[in-house]
Amino acid sequence: MKVPDLPDNEALRIATLRSLNILDTKPEERFDRLTRLAKRLFGVPIALVSLVDTNRQWFKSSQGLETTETSREVSFCAHTILGDDVLIVNDTKLDERFYDNPLVTNEPKIRFYAGVPLVIPNGSRLGTLCLIDQDPRTLSDEDLELLRDLGHIAEQELAAVQLATMDELTQLSNRRGFIALALHALNLCKRLHKPASLFFFDLDLFKEINDRYGHAEGDRALIGFSKILKEAFRESDVIGRLGGDEFAVLLTNTDLTESQLILNRLDRIRADFNKQEARGYDICCSVGAIEFDASRHQSIEDLLQEADQLMYVQKQTKRTKAAS
């Protein structure tokens, strides 16, 4: 049996999955309807919506299978999320990855598997819509297209769940989503004894942009700043728009010394952006940076509050210099 590898973006993927608050929730008709339809259309005894967690796969919807989860090590779906398209195993007994898998040698005695990865807008493959049979079989090209179509519907349902944690304008996490993602990332750093740092950003002269150019241009400035943040920070960093013109970023495995280097990179990217866009105004920001200290910070909110205070000090210093 081959134990599935981890995706390259595993930290972000798990954080995204946890932020949805969907694990271990009750069955929902919107997902059950899909698995019932898949089971009937393909004539298989088992159809699942499976979400791949850190050490397990958990079934949000299950038709034909009584268990609600299995170990990730034996999960077929954990292999599926490593690719972009349908994973088909026509006969598990002939596949060196699965022939001695406990799910093949014991119940439910899987002989055929087909799973399509479920990808949400930030690129994370959270799980699969999959078909299971106890006899070998194949799928036609038409069958594959149908399975992909059902998978897209499942993705839309997951995206609808995610919308509650996303900022519609910038496509970053909103405050609720940021706190959920950042909490998971911070707990991971604490468990592994790794540093973490938080940046609190506030755009400078944002009101003047709105007043002079209109609110549509103000929205455009917010979108522009979100693009700057996405380019400056790593995929593993948690970026969010907290509200208005306030943004935050949690950096894992990063102390304040490294944070300063990243801020220097952000300044260069921001300067290039302003020069290229030439909008008649520059996107500028004030920032408060704080390193996580378990003795002072009991929560993400504690980090945000302290970083917000530091940001305000920087903003006031700028105003004082401008007035003198």
Query: Is pLDDT at 123 greater than 80 in this prediction?
Result: yes
Active site residue 237: no
For residues 92 and 183, state if they share a domain.
no
Query: Is pLDDT at 72 greater than 90 in this prediction?
Result: yes
Q: Say how far apart CA 257 and CA 252 lie, in whole Å.
A: 13
Residue 169 resides in a domain: no
For residues 37 and 69, state if they share a domain.
yes
Query: Is pLDDT at 163 greater than 90 in this prediction?
Result: no
Residue 224 resides in a domain: yes
Query: Is pLDDT at 107 greater than 90 in this prediction?
Result: yes
Residue 260 resides in a domain: yes
Average pLDDT for residues 52-76, to the nearest whole number?
96
For residues 74 and 28, state if they share a domain.
yes
For residues 39 and 85, state if they share a domain.
yes
For residues 159 and 243, state if they share a domain.
no
For residues 132 and 230, state if they share a domain.
no
Residue 90 resides in a domain: yes
* Residues forming beta bridges with residue 133, ordered by sequence position: 112
Residue 2 resides in a domain: no
Residue from 219, 245, 255, 272 carrying the catalytic annotation: 245
pLDDT of residue 15: 85
Share of the chain above pLDDT 70, in %: 100
For residues 120 and 212, state if they share a domain.
no
Which two three-digit tokens encode residue 14?
């798990």
Out of 20-24, 130-134, 219-223, which region has the weakest mean confidence (pLDDT)? 20-24
Average pLDDT for residues 257-268, to the nearest whole number?
92
Average pLDDT for residues 232-255, to the nearest whole number?
91
Indicate the residue among 132, 163, 194 that finishes a domain: 163
Torsion 80-82-88-91 (CA) sign: negative
Residue 168 resides in a domain: no
pLDDT of residue 184: 76
pLDDT of residue 294: 83
For residues 204 and 315, state if they share a domain.
yes
- Per 3-state DSSP, the chain is made up of helix, strand and coil in percentages (nearest 5) of 45, 20, 30
Banded model confidence at residue 47, pLDDT cuts 50, 70, 90: very high
Query: Is pLDDT at 274 greater than 80 in this prediction?
Result: yes
Nearest-5° Cα angle at 199, 197 to 201: 175
For residues 74 and 209, state if they share a domain.
no
Query: Is pLDDT at 140 greater than 80 in this prediction?
Result: yes
Between residues 323 and 280, the one the model is more confident about: 280
**Pairing, β 285-291 against β 196-203:** antiparallel
Query: Is pLDDT at 320 greater than 90 in this prediction?
Result: no
The one-letter code for the residue type at 277 is E
Cα dihedral: 131, 137, 142, 143 (round 10): -10
Could you give the count of Cα atoms lying within 13 Å of 66 in the half-sphere of its Cβ? Answer: 2
For residues 26 and 158, state if they share a domain.
yes
pLDDT of residue 173: 87
pLDDT of residue 199: 96
Average pLDDT for residues 143-153, to the nearest whole number?
95
Out of 54-63, 101-110, 229-238, 239-248, which region has the weakest mean confidence (pLDDT)? 229-238
For residues 190 and 274, state if they share a domain.
yes
Query: Is pLDDT at 162 greater than 80 in this prediction?
Result: no
Q: Say how far apart CA 321 and CA 324 lie, in whole Å.
A: 5
The one-letter code for the residue type at 17 is L
pLDDT of residue 11: 86
Average pLDDT for residues 161-188, to the nearest whole number?
84
Banded model confidence at residue 275, pLDDT cuts 50, 70, 90: very high
pLDDT of residue 31: 93
Query: Is pLDDT at 5 greater than 90 in this prediction?
Result: yes
pLDDT of residue 268: 96
Residue 5 resides in a domain: no
Mean pLDDT of the chain: 92
For residues 134 and 239, state if they share a domain.
no
Indicate the residue among 163, 193, 223 that finishes a domain: 163
Share of the chain above pLDDT 90, in %: 74
Which residues neighbour 292 within 8 Å (Cβ) at sequence distance 6 or greater? Answer: 186, 189, 195, 196, 197, 198, 303
Query: Is pLDDT at 297 greater than 90 in this prediction?
Result: no
pLDDT of residue 319: 86
Q: Give me the number of domains the chain comprises.
A: 2
The CATH code of the domain that includes 88 is 3.30.450.40
The CATH code of the domain that includes 238 is 3.30.70.270
Q: Say how far apart CA 237 and CA 248 lie, in whole Å.
A: 10
Banded model confidence at residue 267, pLDDT cuts 50, 70, 90: very high
Segments forming the whole domain that contains residue 253: 175-323
Q: What secondary structure does DSSP assign to 105-165, as a single string?
A: HSTT---EEEEEEEE-TTS-EEEEEEEEESS-----HHHHHHHHHHHHHHHHHHHHHHHTT
Nearest to 291 by CA among 244, 241, 254: 254
Residue 134 resides in a domain: yes
Whether residue 102 has a cis bond before it, omega within 30° of 0:
no
Query: Is pLDDT at 56 greater than 90 in this prediction?
Result: yes
Which two three-digit tokens encode residue 76?
């077929």
Average pLDDT for residues 161-178, to the nearest whole number?
85
pLDDT of residue 241: 96
Indicate the residue among 131, 163, 195 that finishes a domain: 163
